[in-house]
Amino acid sequence: MSTGRPGGLWARWKALLARQETGEALAVFRVFVGFCALWAVAVPMQYGVAEFMWADTGYRGEGMDADTLRWVLRLGVVSSVSLILGIGGRVSAFVTLQVCIAFMTLHPAASGAHDRLIKNALWLLVLANSTATLSLDCRLKTGAWTSDRLVSAWPRYLAVLQLFIMYQATGIQKISPEWTPLGGFSALWYIVRSDMWMRFDADWLPYWFTQFSTAGTWIWEWCAWVFLYALWCRDKRPATHWANRYDLRTLWAAWGIGMHMILYVLTVLGPLSWATLAWYACLWHPDEYRAGWRRLAGRLRPSVDPASG
């Protein structure tokens, strides 16, 4: 098998996949995904919603036997919590994934984009070493909660790519005039009044605010390529480059978090906002997590007055 010409595309591709880094970003991603998966399996356990949707005793008369269903749900809760704590490594992620796939195929109409995001994230956590640091696995292996152990960076790159694909594809496919100036940016006006999505009566909400939020969402999704460009600049361009000086990636992420929070407050979309924001953890390099932690710890540490010593 050819190994590729040095400096050629194939060799550069392999070099990119061979990169290693410490595991902070993947660990944070793992914790967020674990909470989202826990939401996905634990919330339906309330009020018999799970049996109603997924058991053969439910309204559809098809699905799992009710007792088996309850055991599978409990297994999902245990594996999600294991994922959050970082115990069991890839096995926890794989078990959670299988539980999620089972439920999402049982009643596709009761499944949504957040389920796809959780499943895809869990696959990456099966492939990645996400418990190298900030995990119980790390504590048991090394005696410390953190470790400098290097892990493959490519799962984080794939997570970034998935985030880009998701936003860019959904932005391009928002073809209703209500998303655009042609429809007066009125999409959110109708969404918050749709009975099944509304969180509360939105009559008090000014029209201009829904227009602002619609335009903000639509433009920002269409501009998903911006964060990919910003990450490329961080890798290939000097720190003095304008995209790095103003940290274009963090600006894009801050805008996204704002838009997701507006949607979260105004609508009931399940864990969509959280399942999307979990992927943001991969936008920052582990070194940036370390630097951020050092800055935070420095601020929290009580300052010593030299005169008192």
- Interface with other proteins, residue 10, by CB under 8 A: yes
Q: What does the alpha-carbon distance between residue 38 and residue 80 come to, in Å, rounded to a whole number?
A: 5
- Interface with other proteins, residue 300, by CB under 8 A: no
Q: What does the alpha-carbon distance between residue 266 and residue 262 come to, in Å, rounded to a whole number?
A: 6
- Interface with other proteins, residue 178, by CB under 8 A: yes
Q: What does the alpha-carbon distance between residue 197 and residue 191 come to, in Å, rounded to a whole number?
A: 7
- Interface with other proteins, residue 120, by CB under 8 A: yes
Of 75 and 110, which has the nearer Cβ to other proteins? 110
Stretch of residues binding other proteins (CB under 8 A), selected from 64-72, 74-82, 142-150, 230-238: 142-150
- Calculated CA dihedral for residues 146, 150, 153, 156, nearest 10 degrees: -10
How many CB atoms sit inside 10 A of residue 93's CB? 28
| Smallest distance from other proteins to CB 145, Å | 16
Q: Which of 282, 284, 245 is nearest to 125 (CA)?
A: 282
- Interface with other proteins, residue 138, by CB under 8 A: no
| Smallest distance from other proteins to CB 82, Å | 20
Q: What does the alpha-carbon distance between residue 220 and residue 139 come to, in Å, rounded to a whole number?
A: 40
Of 10 and 232, which has the nearer Cβ to other proteins? 10
Lookup: tokens for 23:
């595991």
24-53 binders of other proteins (CB under 8 A): 43-44, 46-49, 52-53
- Interface with other proteins, residue 290, by CB under 8 A: no
- Interface with other proteins, residue 109, by CB under 8 A: yes
50-55's contacts with Cβ under 8 Å and 24+ in sequence apart are: 53/106, 53/107, 53/110, 54/103, 54/106, 54/107
Q: Give the CA angle between residues 92, 96, 127 to the nearest 5°.
A: 60
- Interface with other proteins, residue 230, by CB under 8 A: no
Stretch of residues binding other proteins (CB under 8 A), selected from 10-18, 72-80, 82-90, 297-305: 10-18
- Interface with other proteins, residue 232, by CB under 8 A: no
3-state secondary structure (DSSP) of residue 7? coil
- Interface with other proteins, residue 264, by CB under 8 A: no
- Interface with other proteins, residue 191, by CB under 8 A: yes
Asked if 214 and 185 touch (Cβ cutoff 8 Å), the reply is yes
Stretch of residues binding other proteins (CB under 8 A), selected from 30-38, 105-113, 227-235, 245-253: 105-113
Among 91, 140, 144, 172, binds other proteins (CB under 8 A): 172
Q: How many residues bind other proteins (CB under 8 A)?
A: 73
Among 65, 141, 194, 246, binds other proteins (CB under 8 A): 194
Among 197, 212, 220, 229, binds other proteins (CB under 8 A): 197
Q: Which CA distances in Å does 276 have to 43, 69, 181, 272, 291?
A: 18, 27, 26, 6, 25
- Interface with other proteins, residue 59, by CB under 8 A: yes
| Smallest distance from other proteins to CB 245, Å | 28
- Interface with other proteins, residue 204, by CB under 8 A: no
Half-sphere exposure of 170 (CA within 13 A, CB side): 12
Q: What does the alpha-carbon distance between residue 269 and residue 107 come to, in Å, rounded to a whole number?
A: 17
Among 35, 84, 93, 119, binds other proteins (CB under 8 A): 119
